Structure 1
């Protein structure tokens, strides 16, 4: 069946990335498919109809959405009208559970089959969400092997499609490393609130490290949704990078990064890292009460232990970050060991082709 209309809803920068690649895969399989999307700049570039740039607004966490209630209610109303009037052939929700949870019942009421690509982290907090998804979703398309087991045990239709980053990040080549003149990556996050909280810590940590390593260089990986001005005055030795192919990321000897997709990207490249995460205190208090896992970095969650250090809230100081980074730069054996442990995580995530496998399921089960 051709000429189908599919609605895709993604709400953050990583969701925008994965949704855009899924849209391209859908169109490769059926060029007649039309896609309407809520997402970010990447979805805007590939969708037939772009409904709203939600990903660039940084509406995440527990407290920040409260500040954006009028906008979110208006967008929800627009999507309800879209579903009722246009009757898409399928809804694809991409992560971003807090908002997508409100869109799924609209699709169900209109008898529009709903697929969930990139599961919310039900294994980290609020496991009751599995019961809600079971009622509202035709199939979960999950990207971690343990998620497939979790949903199967709950009798939720599910398929493990592999991890989308394996399509984007090539296996790193072996190379010699000079830890006396290292290249350090700074990845403060993509949202304005993350940048504001993490960047001062990263800049000062870089300055501290460079005092004893004058040849050290830094690469600040800027988010597509942020202008250069968002990053302020750069420390000596740091340059801004904008890339989508991970070529420069693969050259890093070490990364200072915000918890999020960046930790898994670094793991797939075998780049040791220090993970830092600072939230607003109201958001942190709620998260601490709800989250039930030991680690926040996906690399550590997948490994089942603390392969790389995590510094959260009051621990996330420039001095502590620099000290943890110096351990990697001063111990070549530790650096090699962590590099190999991170690459083992890559091998656990299956083969490339995630977006294509997900598109195949969606097109076959929404016909």
Structure 2
């Protein structure tokens, strides 16, 4: 079988790589062509375009880069046509993927969507195009099945969350000498996860670093994103008490005592590693004002959305300041706040289902071809 997979972000690269492994396990002769990243490339197949060339964050940034986005869409269509796949598999990244899905449906190419666009958060009217253009949808959040089936009459498959698999796989082979490898001392480690895009790193890492001088008995380590070169981070590395480790976020979370995390998939990953956290979010002011008017969710972090209550503190926009970050950080390193959060993490993990999301999705894709 020939599969064409499109992932446009770091999280999509992770889930795409695990799905590719599962597809190849079921079909060793599978021919896979994809848009993704280093993790997908390490599995095999042919990388068409890296997600670092695709990631534009926020309304204003998308408008500024509209020409590039339109050229990428055109390139993608031509490449799919030349490859002539048995199925296209979309992984999240809806602004781009839904355009390709609409085109592919008209071409008669089977469309499979793994990891639903978050239309329950905003742009719910996308359900019309999803019903029209997506042949099969595989959802990973427990509340999404009811959202699609009961509210909108669109059948979907709940496959469990692939991060359960990713974290379990990492832990099974984790390097027990991670601290020694990176010359980390015996102080408790605080992971700083400022995101993967330059815009969010620039806005949030400097805020995270304001807590460092107040907590000398902890060791702060920045998790460098694989999509960014070390040269970019140099401007932030002025404090000798802060270390930097690139492209080993799971290794860092596996030994961390606490974390400051940019809103996104990383909030859930941090929870699955059972690391108490504070969630930060600060966007371009124009993008934020637009988003605030069209997104009606109570929370921004996946942890709180899945639990439908505040498990982790979210510091958004003006609240994302050094005073509030320090106050909330203090809570997660003290016993009472830590224990309550860890208990909620156990409940969260139960809600997400067991292991095997990638293999189940691969089986369903092949069954539905």
Q: Does 1:340 align with 2:343?
A: yes
**What is the RMSD of the two structures over their aligned residues, measured on CA atoms?**
2.0
* Structure-1 residue corresponding to 2:73: 76
Does residue 164 in structure 1 map to residue 162 in structure 2? yes
Greater shift after overlay, 194-203 or 15-24? 15-24
1:218 pairs with 2:220: yes
For the structure 1 residues 319 and 29, does the alpha-carbon distance in structure 2 shift closer, same or farther, using more than 3 Å as the test?
same
Question: What residue ranges of structure 1 are gaps of 5+ in the alignment?
Answer: 174-179
TM-score normalised according to structure 1 size: 0.91
Larger displacement relative to structure 2 (318-327 or 192-201) = 318-327
Do 2:212 and 2:241's aligned partners in 1 also have CA atoms closer than 8 Å?
Answer: no
In the alignment, which residue of structure 2 is the partner of 1:67? 64
| C-alpha separation in 2, matches of 1:143 and 1:357 | 11
* Counterpart contact for 1:16–1:55, Cα < 8 Å: no
Q: Aligned-pair distance for 1:328?
A: 2.3
Partners in 2 of 1:285 and 1:243 — Cα distance? 32
Out of 124-133 and 195-204, give the one that drifted further. 124-133
Give yes or no for the alignment of 1:35 onto 2:26: no
Aligned counterparts of 1:277 and 1:245: Cα–Cα separation in 2: 19
TM-score scaled by structure 2?
0.90
Summarize the Cα distance change of 1:22–1:52 in structure 2 as closer, same or farther, 3 Å threshold: same
The secondary structure found in structure 2 opposite 1:128 is helix
**Secondary structure of 2:4 counterpart:** strand
Secondary structure of residue in 1 paired with 2:167: coil
Report the counterpart of residue 19 of structure 1 in structure 2: 16
- Counterpart Cα distance in 1 of 2:44 and 2:168: 26
Answering whether residue 202 of structure 2 is matched by residue 196 of structure 1, we say yes
- Distance apart, 1:248 and its partner CA: 3.2
Residues 1:359 and 2:337 are matched in the alignment = no
| Structure 1: distance between partners of 2:106 and 2:54 | 28
What corresponds to 2:126 in structure 1? 129
Cα deviation digits, residues 73-102 of structure 1 (max 9, x gap): 112112222333432110111001011111
* 8 Å Cα contact 1:188/1:257 also seen in 2: yes
1:113 to 110, 113, 129: 110
Aligned length: 352
Instruction: Name the structure where helix makes up a greater proportion of residues.
Output: 2
Counterparts of 2:331 and 2:94, CA distance in 1:
37
Q: Residues 219 and 238 of structure 1 are in contact (CA less than 8 Å); yes or no, is this contact kept in structure 2?
A: yes
Distance 1:85 1:236, change over 3 A: closer
Alignment of 1:243-282 (within 5 A): 244=248, 246-282=250-286
Give the 3 Å change call, closer, same or farther, for CA 186–245 of structure 1 in structure 2.
Answer: closer
Which residue in 1 is equivalent to 2:178? none
Q: Deviations over 1:261-283 (max 9, x none)?
A: 11101111221111110111111
Give the superposition deviation at 1:229. Answer: 2.2
Q: Give the distance between the partners of 1:181 and 1:296, measured in 2 at CA.
A: 31
Structure 2: state its 5+ residue gaps: 173-185
